[in-house]
Amino acid sequence: MKRVPIFIACVLSTFGTAKGATLLIEGKYQSKNIYVQNAMNDNGVGFCAYEVRVNDQLTTDEIASSAFEIDLSNFAFKPGDKVEIKINHKDGCSPKVLNPDALKPRPTFKTEDISITSGGMLNWKTSNESGSLPFIVEQYRWNKWVFVGEVQGEGTPGEHSYSFQTTPHSGENKFRVKQVGYSKEAKLSPERTFISQISPITYAEDEKKKNIMLFSAVTMYEVYDAYGNIVLKGFGTQADLSPFDKGLYYLCYDNLIVNVKRR
């Protein structure tokens, strides 16, 4: 079953206090410090931020300057630990966080084991996760890696086990999992391959309804136009080309790519 990912991201917000306002930053520790651009007070005397608290602990960082660093290494955090930073500042001005992505989840997992059964059940075990990101399950077919599902990661450094029921095609099947961080940084697992005993799927054009391709069994499919643009994708026993212009198309199904004509 496809699971809906729940992302734990870095959140910035501002709310008022008795002395001014507070800039709030929340996320997970990713072994990075926070850098802040500190504006001048609106009367031109002194700087905007006057106090920084990390998980309600007052920091010892020097903040009376135009820019300062919040050194999170002073708090003995482990990757994936929850971090809440409050930058208290005066009214009429606002400090600016220069690297707000520093507390967003990154793909840091280590693949301890990954395997696939003859029935297509993909199992993997990880450690060293530092944020809750989905594991994207991909299958290599039609000369590319294709998305087939996802499982939400636990996001903590301990060892975790996951599984996903794939839908194999005939012949050789190849699978992997990956995570993609907010900066588009990706991390991949090793690939796993097995030979399926499923019979090859065939197709034929419907004799009564032209431009409808009928498959001999349920299959994932994609249809591309002559320029390589995807125009149709799905999972089922038929692909309907009738809504498209006449011409040559590429029909991808099972583990095959064939040329078909929309007449």
29-49 confidence digits (pLDDT tens): 888 999 999 988 877 778 999
Residue 218 resides in a domain: yes
Same domain, 190 and 209: no
Domain span holding position 146:
110-196
Contact 177, 189 (CB under 8 A): yes
Same domain, 92 and 153: no
Same domain, 169 and 212: no
Three-state SS string over the chain comes to CCCCCCCCCCEEEEEECCCCEEEEEEEECCCCCEEEECCECCCCCCECEEEEEECCEECCCCCCCCEEEECHHHHCCCCCCEEEEEEEECCCCCCEECCHHHHCCCCCCEEEEEEECCCCEEEEEEECCCCCCEEEEEEEECCEEEEEEEEECCCCCCCEEEEEECCCCCEEEEEEEEEECCCCCEEECCCEEEEECCCCCCEEECCCCCCEEEEEEEEEEEEEECCCCEEEEEEEEEEECCCCCCEEEEEEECCEEEEEEEC
The total domain count for the chain is 3
pLDDT of 183: 78
Q: Nearest Cα to 124, choosing from 159, 156, 157? A: 159
Residue 8 CB-density burial (10 A; 0-12 exposed, 13-18 middle, 19+ buried): middle
pTM: 0.77
pLDDT tens string 73-99: 999 998 888 999 999 999 889 899 999
pLDDT tens string 110-167: 999 999 999 999 999 999 998 889 999 999 999 999 999 999 999 888 999 999 999 9
Residue 2 resides in a domain: no
From 48, 72, 103, give the residue that closes a domain. 103
